[in-house]
């Protein structure tokens, strides 16, 4: 319906835009996973459990998203950026009935996927920083994470390696450096990240609403009580930070003399029966098959990453008082994750091929189902990194965004747009940030005819306004313009003098780039 | 430089269409003398002393005691009330200042103390509390204003932590930041600090006419998406971008343009970021902005004088004195001091005893904050410390009481409740206002 019929024009356009296509355009048909049966069965089960709850509440789910909505969402969630015009076109033109599943499989195989996961996990693990030296160090951790995700290392193995890092060249060493090797900080951060338990309130007092007592907190901290940083001058640069496990060192509850021996939260397993250093003992317990917290937390993270909120929300606060919206779903997905051998990629794939994930984010009625019912897709803010990369892509300002390279402009943009909230269903920014987007680079660069690769590509004289607008909309929104949009913008372009056509297209691109539809993942 | 009448007119045409007639009510206000309006709401200026200033060398001196240090006391225009010799300007206006010498808090770490003093809450709890700037600007906000309700001048990235955060009030109440666009001038620098809001003007090559055309299309595009996606995130994006467009209006943007002031006035505030920040605060208060925070000591270590306390405090005190005393004088001359309350505070005080490196360390037990201006009964010291400055002996004041007093002074009931995401009503302050320092 929206194909360009003018052959030379479409040919030229395709060539102009194809150069920005990332490494994704590969043959995928040969790659049907052997596990497809169980994965599809689990996906169907997810949909059934979500539907059952909606039925009980007498509410209906939203219809499935359009192709344009879906490809943009899947790209942002799985590879962290919007698709190019060529990628979108190929997807819209694909008539295969299973093209959604094909797309998901393709994205998960792309090298951009582990990069995006590493970005996501880096900000989960570390408080964001804009200080150049810390950014440099964070990259060390990111490289490590990316390596694990690109090999799809078993998640339990990843947790174990993270917790017991000792080598100066290891990324996770930097996590220990950031926490100053303090047992109480390491306890509260690792339990939040890997167990979904927020024990830090119990640091100073017995938690009034929770089952955790001050003693539980310090017993967990005791697993980190025997760490030491050797005095090593080579201990600098790129997250390098050696850690030595000694066999002395204990924690005491502050302002008391009470020495607290190690103990696992919510478990009476005897740590001493586990071999190795204190940290190894903790790691063994954390990844043991009967650990009730670790896989649930991973599943809840994956769900929240894809759906905007966890089955338990907030996703990193899975205390017994904070109940899941779909307890059965959480348990079954957790079992599935364990059965799969802690395969994080398969878990993301399973969630991504559900109808629940594929629902439109549009409102269908005045009485909307509350967000915890997952009747429609949540609208999520792009991260500052995603927004920058999307703006670069929409202006075709770089043919290839290097995966790990330093980019001062990107760092500055990200620092400025950084938000306090970790909940992506908020749009948590202020006026100064909005001003920077409207008037600063990269938007000003992407929308100026002198600097915008896209506007230069569109200046070819044989293109019609309709074709040009099609490209702009595909680039920004991954969909062609609606009829009323086409009418409005064609009229706008017609009013511009001939020598201002490119500038006028730049104005259209400015409008799209500053719009909610562009700045949100929906 | 004034924005030319012509560009102003064209900009007005550009924005009038999208903003609607109602939004234009700010226009006459800008021209009028805000102070003459009996219905004018109060404003608050927070002078934030990053690093934690020493009380013993500023407003609660201990002459004759070993802890007293090098500085001499000076008389003020209030009999019996004495300040450090480096507050010559403030000493002439001590009748406008209430010195709270009995501050006593429980956080001795910079980030934690910053959070505590800004929110009234100790950090680490499950709830992300709003800064007092966000709470008061919400209580005092002007929906019609084209300017942000909470402006922070040159906040210290190092020490603020989440202190400027709107917390559970949401991004609408976040501080708009005014930053320094040149390297912060050193103490002896001749250069004037260049403060401003980044990206407040249109990018090169875009004139008002094109801006107008873009905004008309943008408005349609936004409305279309919002109609189909009534989510909080979409609403917030639309609202915040709309507000930013308003702020670009030359009349609003000019509030931040210090080149509109004479060089005599600029000099009188001091050339550094603090002095120029106080001048921006005056310009914003003139335009009814409810809350402005100006930081002194944001770059470098500020008041964190663990070593070499005395030369550093002398320099900081002179910078503080010049900015603050000129601010008091100018607000008074313009009839704005009645309706503007100024609060001076940092994250904690410093140890009365002088350490081995001629410095003073962190000390939350007994220290000083100062309230001045509107609603404040000046010319007094409230609370006392002992001879050595180690303990509060009278008028012990906790952070919640200080914030309650500040609320009362600006005409906001401290018990005003805002709602947390769980719909739990939370008072701005649970403390008791100190009647003795209120008018």
pLDDT value at B253 more than 90: yes
Confidence at residue A378, expressed as pLDDT on a 0 to 100 scale = 95
How far is A134 from chain B, CA to nearest CA, in Å? 13
pLDDT value at A304 more than 80: yes
How far is A364 from chain B, CA to nearest CA, in Å? 8
Q: Residues 6 or more apart from B130 whose CB is under 8 A from it? A: B119, B138, B165, B166, B167, B168, B169, B173, B418
Tell me, yes or no, if A323 comes closer than 8 A to chain B by beta carbon.
Answer: no
3-state secondary structure A438-469: HHCCCHHHHCCCCCCHHHHHCCCCCCCHHHHH
Q: At what angle do helices B208-228 and A483-495 cross, to 10 degrees?
A: 180
Q: How far apart are CA A224 and CA A219, in angstroms?
A: 10
Are A378 and B126 a contacting pair at CB < 8 A?
no
Are A519 and B237 a contacting pair at CB < 8 A?
yes
Exposed, middle or buried, A162 (CB in 10 Å: 0-12/13-18/19+)?
buried
Exposed, middle or buried, B73 (CB in 10 Å: 0-12/13-18/19+)?
middle
- Match domain B40-195+272-437 to its CATH number in 3.40.720.10, 3.40.605.10, 3.40.50.11900, 3.40.1110.10: 3.40.720.10
Compute CA distances B288 → B44, B143, B244, B272, whole Å. Answer: 10, 11, 17, 24
Which ranges in A126-166 belong to alpha helices (H)?
132-150, 155-163
Which comes out higher in pLDDT, residue A226 or A18?
A: A226
Mean per-residue pLDDT, B135-162: 81
pLDDT digits (tens, 9 = 90+) for A41-50: 999 999 999 9
Mean per-residue pLDDT, A280-289: 92
Q: How far apart are CA A69 and CA A433, in angstroms?
A: 26
Are A503 and B210 a contacting pair at CB < 8 A?
yes
Angle at A375 between CA A369 and CA A376, to 5 degrees: 105
Which comes out higher in pLDDT, residue B31 or A447?
A: A447
Residue pair A509/A390 in contact by the 8 Å Cβ criterion = no
Q: How far apart are CA B94 and CA B112, in angstroms?
A: 31
Residue A113's H or E segment, with its range, is helix A112-125
Closest residue in chain B to residue A127, using alpha carbons only: B161
pLDDT value at A135 more than 90: no
- 3-state secondary structure (DSSP) of residue B385: strand
Residue A79's H or E segment, with its range, is helix A67-79
**Cβ-nearest to A434 among B201, B210, B244:** B244
pLDDT value at A354 more than 90: yes
pLDDT value at A507 more than 70: yes
For residue B122 the two structure tokens come to 């100790």
How does DSSP assign B17-73, residue by residue?
A: HHH-GGGGGHHHHHHS-GGG-TTPPPEEEEEEETT---STTTTS--TTSGGG-SPPE
pLDDT value at A51 more than 90: yes
Compute CA distances B112 → A289, B109, B260, B346, B352, whole Å. Answer: 39, 5, 39, 12, 21
Mean per-residue pLDDT, A263-276: 88
Mean per-residue pLDDT, A120-141: 82
Confidence at residue B164, expressed as pLDDT on a 0 to 100 scale = 75
Distance between alpha carbon A342 and the CA centroid of its chain, in Å? Answer: 19
Q: How far apart are CA B6 and CA A501, in angstroms?
A: 26
Are A435 and B200 a contacting pair at CB < 8 A?
yes
pLDDT digits (tens, 9 = 90+) for A407-433: 888 888 887 887 766 778 888 777 878
pLDDT digits (tens, 9 = 90+) for B60-105: 999 999 999 999 999 999 999 999 999 999 999 999 999 999 999 9
pLDDT value at B32 more than 90: no
Q: For chain B, report the end-to-end CA distance as a whole number of angstroms.
A: 40
pLDDT value at A5 more than 70: no
Q: How far apart are CA B224 and CA A478, in angstroms?
A: 17
Are B234 and A427 a contacting pair at CB < 8 A?
yes
pLDDT value at A100 more than 50: yes
Confidence at residue B422, expressed as pLDDT on a 0 to 100 scale = 65
For residue A321 the two structure tokens come to 């008082």
Distance between alpha carbon A134 and the CA centroid of its chain, in Å? Answer: 21
Tell me, yes or no, if A110 comes closer than 8 A to chain B by beta carbon.
Answer: no
Q: For chain A, report the end-to-end CA distance as a whole number of angstroms.
A: 24
pLDDT digits (tens, 9 = 90+) for B154-173: 887 555 556 677 888 876 78
Are B124 and A379 a contacting pair at CB < 8 A?
no
Mean per-residue pLDDT, A31-42: 74
Residue pair A332/A45 in contact by the 8 Å Cβ criterion = yes
For residue A197 the two structure tokens come to 């338990």
Confidence at residue B169, expressed as pLDDT on a 0 to 100 scale = 85
Closest residue in chain A to residue B178, using alpha carbons only: A432
Confidence at residue B167, expressed as pLDDT on a 0 to 100 scale = 80
**Residue A133 confidence class, pLDDT cut points 50, 70, 90:** confident
Compute CA distances B76 → A113, B82, B83, B88, whole Å. Answer: 67, 6, 7, 8
**Residue B231 confidence class, pLDDT cut points 50, 70, 90:** confident
How far is B203 from chain A, CA to nearest CA, in Å? 5
Confidence at residue A432, expressed as pLDDT on a 0 to 100 scale = 79
Name the CA dihedral angle for B7, B12, B14, B19, rounded to a multiple of 10 degrees. Answer: 160
Bond prior to A314 in cis (omega within 30° of 0): yes
Are A379 and B234 a contacting pair at CB < 8 A?
yes
Closest residue in chain A to residue B236, using alpha carbons only: A427
Tell me, yes or no, if A355 comes closer than 8 A to chain B by beta carbon.
Answer: no
Place of tokens 């009647």: B435
Q: Residues 6 or more apart from B131 whose CB is under 8 A from it? A: B118, B119, B163, B164, B165, B166, B167, B175
Are A431 and B230 a contacting pair at CB < 8 A?
no
Mean per-residue pLDDT, A66-95: 97
Are A435 and B199 a contacting pair at CB < 8 A?
yes
Task: Tell me the percentage of chain A whose pLDDT exceeds 70.
Answer: 86
Confidence at residue B30, expressed as pLDDT on a 0 to 100 scale = 40
pLDDT value at A495 more than 80: yes
Q: Residues 6 or more apart from A162 whose CB is under 8 A from it? A: A172, A175, A194
User: Of B384, B406, B414, B431, nearest to B62 (Cα)?
Assistant: B384
How far is A249 from chain B, CA to nearest CA, in Å? 25
pLDDT value at B9 more than 50: no
* Chain B residues within an 8 Å CB radius of A431: 148, 176, 240, 243-244, 247
Mean per-residue pLDDT, A390-399: 86
Confidence at residue A173, expressed as pLDDT on a 0 to 100 scale = 87
Q: How far apart are CA A368 and CA A59, in angstroms?
A: 8
pLDDT digits (tens, 9 = 90+) for B384-422: 999 999 999 999 999 999 999 999 999 999 999 998 766
* Chain B residues within an 8 Å CB radius of A380: 233
Mutate to test the interface with B, among A210, A420, A435, A507 (most CBs of B within 10 A): A435
Tell me, yes or no, if A451 comes closer than 8 A to chain B by beta carbon.
Answer: no
Residue A259's H or E segment, with its range, is strand A259-260
Tell me, yes or no, if A208 comes closer than 8 A to chain B by beta carbon.
Answer: no
- 3-state secondary structure (DSSP) of residue B432: coil
Closest residue in chain B to residue A209, using alpha carbons only: B126
Closest residue in chain B to residue A437, using alpha carbons only: B199
For residue B234 the two structure tokens come to 């979409």
Tell me, yes or no, if A435 comes closer than 8 A to chain B by beta carbon.
Answer: yes
Residue pair B67/B56 in contact by the 8 Å Cβ criterion = yes
pLDDT digits (tens, 9 = 90+) for B211-227: 999 999 999 999 999 99
Confidence at residue A212, expressed as pLDDT on a 0 to 100 scale = 73
* Chain B residues within an 8 Å CB radius of A514: 218, 241
ipTM of the complex model: 0.88
Residue A251's H or E segment, with its range, is strand A251-252
Residue pair B438/B409 in contact by the 8 Å Cβ criterion = yes
Mutate to test the interface with A, among B171, B216, B223 (most CBs of A within 10 A): B171
Confidence at residue A23, expressed as pLDDT on a 0 to 100 scale = 37
User: Of B303, B272, B311, nearest to B191 (Cα)?
Assistant: B272
Averaged confidence pLDDT in chain B: 87
**Cβ-nearest to A435 among B171, B197, B205:** B197
Averaged confidence pLDDT in chain A: 87
pLDDT value at A325 more than 90: yes
**Cβ-nearest to A448 among B177, B205, B237:** B205
Backbone angles phi, psi at B46, to 5 degrees: -100, 120
Residue pair B377/B438 in contact by the 8 Å Cβ criterion = yes
**Residue A476 confidence class, pLDDT cut points 50, 70, 90:** very high
Q: How far apart are CA B75 and CA B95, in angstroms?
A: 12
Neighbouring CB atoms inside 10 A of A284's CB total 19
Q: How far apart are CA B267 and CA A451, in angstroms?
A: 42
A 215-244: CB under 8 A from B: none
Closest residue in chain A to residue B209, using alpha carbons only: A507
Mean per-residue pLDDT, A141-165: 95
Strands B176-180 and B82-84: unpaired
* Chain A residues within an 8 Å CB radius of B204: 444
Residue pair A356/A46 in contact by the 8 Å Cβ criterion = yes
Confidence at residue B417, expressed as pLDDT on a 0 to 100 scale = 93
Residue B240's H or E segment, with its range, is helix B232-247
Largest pairwise CA distance in chain A = 83
Q: How far apart are CA B156 and CA B150, in angstroms?
A: 16
* Side-chain-facing half-sphere of B90: CA atoms under 13 Å: 29
Residue pair B352/B368 in contact by the 8 Å Cβ criterion = no
pLDDT digits (tens, 9 = 90+) for A213-261: 888 899 999 999 999 988 665 555 555 678 889 999 999 988 888 999 9
Provide the sign of the torsion angle of the four alpha carbons B197, B201, B202, B208, taken in this order.
positive
Confidence at residue A239, expressed as pLDDT on a 0 to 100 scale = 53
Are A520 and B234 a contacting pair at CB < 8 A?
yes
pLDDT value at A206 more than 70: no
Beta bridge partners of B179: B196
Residue pair B247/B200 in contact by the 8 Å Cβ criterion = yes
**Cβ-nearest to B228 among A362, A420, A444:** A362
Residue B238's H or E segment, with its range, is helix B232-247
A 36-65: CB under 8 A from B: none
pLDDT value at A342 more than 90: yes
Tell me, yes or no, if A503 comes closer than 8 A to chain B by beta carbon.
Answer: yes
Which comes out higher in pLDDT, residue A22 or B347?
A: B347
Confidence at residue B177, expressed as pLDDT on a 0 to 100 scale = 81
Neighbouring CB atoms inside 10 A of B305's CB total 26
């Amino acid at each position: 319906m929206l194909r360009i019929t003018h052959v030379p024009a479409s040919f030229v356009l395709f060539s102009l835009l194809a150069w920005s296509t990332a490494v994704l355009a590969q043959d995928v048909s040969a790659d049907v996973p052997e596990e497809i049966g169980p994965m599809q069965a689990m996906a169907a089960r997810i949909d059934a459990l979500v539907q059952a709850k909606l039925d009980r509440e007498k509410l209906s789910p939203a219809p499935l998203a359009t192709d344009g909505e879906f490809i943009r969402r899947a790209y942002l969630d799985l590879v962290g950026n919007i698709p190019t015009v060529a990628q979108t076109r190929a997807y819209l033109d694909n008539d295969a009935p299973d093209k959604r599943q094909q797309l998901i499989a393709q994205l998960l195989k792309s090298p951009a996927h582990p990069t995006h996961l590493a970005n996501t996990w880096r900000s989960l693990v570390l408080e964001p920083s804009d200080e150049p030296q810390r950014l440099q160090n964070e990259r060390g951790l990111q490289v490590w994470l990316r390596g694990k995700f690109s090999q799809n290392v078993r998640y339990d193995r990843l947790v174990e390696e993270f917790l017991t890092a000792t080598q100066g060249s290891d990324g996770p060493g930097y996590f220990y450096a950031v926490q100053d090797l303090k047992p109480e900080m390491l306890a509260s951060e690792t339990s939040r990240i890997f167990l979904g338990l927020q024990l830090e309130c119990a640091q100073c007092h017995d938690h009034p609403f929770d089952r955790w007592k001050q003693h539980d907190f310090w017993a967990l901290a005791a697993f980190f009580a025997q760490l030491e940083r050797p005095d090593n001058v080579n201990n600098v640069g790129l997250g390098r930070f050696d850690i030595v496990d000694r066999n002395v060192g204990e924690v005491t509850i502050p302002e008391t003399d009470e020495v607290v021996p190690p103990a696992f939260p919510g478990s009476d397993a005897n740590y001493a029966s586990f071999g190795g250093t204190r940290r190894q003992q903790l790691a063994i317990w954390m990844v043991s098959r009967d650990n009730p917290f670790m896989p649930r937390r991973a599943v809840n993270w994956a769900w929240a990453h894809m759906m905007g909120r966890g089955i338990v929300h907030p996703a990193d606060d899975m205390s017994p008082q904070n109940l899941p919206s779909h307890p059965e779903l959480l348990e079954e997905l957790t079992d599935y994750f364990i059965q799969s051998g802690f395969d994080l990629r398969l878990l993301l794939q399973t969630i991504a091929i559900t109808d629940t994930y594929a629902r439109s984010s549009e409102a269908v009625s005045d009485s909307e189902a509350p967000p915890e019912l997952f009747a429609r897709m949540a609208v999520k803010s792009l991260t500052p990194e995603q927004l920058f990369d999307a703006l670069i892509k929409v202006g075709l300002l770089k043919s290839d965004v290097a995966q790990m390279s330093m980019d001062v402009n990107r760092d500055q943009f990200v620092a400025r747009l950084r938000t306090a909230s970790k909940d992506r269903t908020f749009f948590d920014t202020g006026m100064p940030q909005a001003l920077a987007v409207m008037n600063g680079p990269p938007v000003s660069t992407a929308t100026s005819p002198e600097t915008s690769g896209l506007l230069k590509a569109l200046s070819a004289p044989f293109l019609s306004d309709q074709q040009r607008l099609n490209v702009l909309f595909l680039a920004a929104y991954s969909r062609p313009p609606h009829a009323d949009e086409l009418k409005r913008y064609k009229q706008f372009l017609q009013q511009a003098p001939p020598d201002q056509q490119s500038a006028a297209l730049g104005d259209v691109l400015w409008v799209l780039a500053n719009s909610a539809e562009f700045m949100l993942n929906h | 430089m004034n924005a030319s009448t012509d560009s102003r007119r064209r900009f007005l045409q550009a924005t009038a269409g999208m903003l609607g007639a109602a939004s234009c009510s700010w226009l006459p206000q800008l021209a009028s003398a805000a102070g003459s309006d009996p219905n004018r709401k109060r404003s608050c200026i927070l002078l934030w002393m990053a690093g934690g200033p020493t009380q013993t060398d500023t407003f609660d001196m201990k002459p004759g005691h070993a802890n007293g240090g090098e500085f001499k006391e000076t008389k003020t225009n209030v009999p019996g009330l004495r300040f450090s010799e480096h507050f010559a300007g403030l000493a002439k206006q001590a009748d406008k200042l209430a010195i709270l010498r009995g501050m006593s808090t429980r956080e001795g770490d910079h980030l934690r103390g910053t959070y505590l003093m800004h929110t009234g809450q100790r950090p680490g709890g499950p709830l992300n509390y709003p800064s007092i700037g966000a709470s008061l600007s919400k209580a005092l906000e002007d929906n019609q204003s084209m300017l942000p309700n909470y402006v922070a001048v040159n906040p210290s990235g190092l020490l603020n932590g989440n202190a400027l955060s709107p917390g559970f009030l949401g991004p609408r109440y976040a501080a708009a930041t005014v930053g320094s666009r040149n390297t912060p001038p050193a103490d002896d620098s001749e250069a004037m600090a260049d403060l401003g809001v980044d990206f407040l003007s249109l990018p090169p090559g875009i004139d008002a006419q094109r801006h107008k055309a873009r905004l008309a299309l943008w408005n349609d595009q936004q409305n279309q998406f919002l109609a189909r996606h009534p989510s909080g995130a979409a609403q917030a994006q639309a609202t915040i971008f709309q507000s930013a467009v308003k702020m670009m209006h030359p009349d609003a943007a000019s509030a931040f343009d210090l080149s509109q002031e004479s060089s005599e006035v600029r000099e009188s505030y001091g050339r550094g970021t603090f002095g120029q920040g106080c001048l921006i605060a005056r310009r914003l208060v003139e335009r009814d902005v409810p809350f402005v925070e100006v930081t002194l000591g944001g770059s470098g270590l500020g008041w964190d004088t663990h070593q070499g306390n005395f030369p550093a405090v002398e320099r900081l005190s002179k910078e503080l004195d010049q900015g603050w005393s000129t601010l008091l004088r100018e607000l008074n001359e313009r009839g704005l001091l009645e309706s503007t309350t100024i609060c001076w505070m940092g994250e904690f005080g410093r140890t009365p005893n002088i350490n081995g490196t001629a410095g003073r360390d962190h000390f939350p037990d007994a220290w000083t904050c100062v309230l001045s201006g509107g609603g404040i009964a000046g010319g007094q010291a409230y609370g006392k410390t002992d001879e050595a400055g180690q303990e509060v002996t009278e008028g012990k004041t906790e952070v919640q009481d200080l914030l309650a007093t500040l609320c009362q002074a600006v005409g906001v009931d401290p018990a005003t409740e805002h709602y947390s995401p769980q719909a739990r009503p939370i008072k701005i302050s649970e403390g008791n206002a100190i009647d003795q320092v209120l008018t």
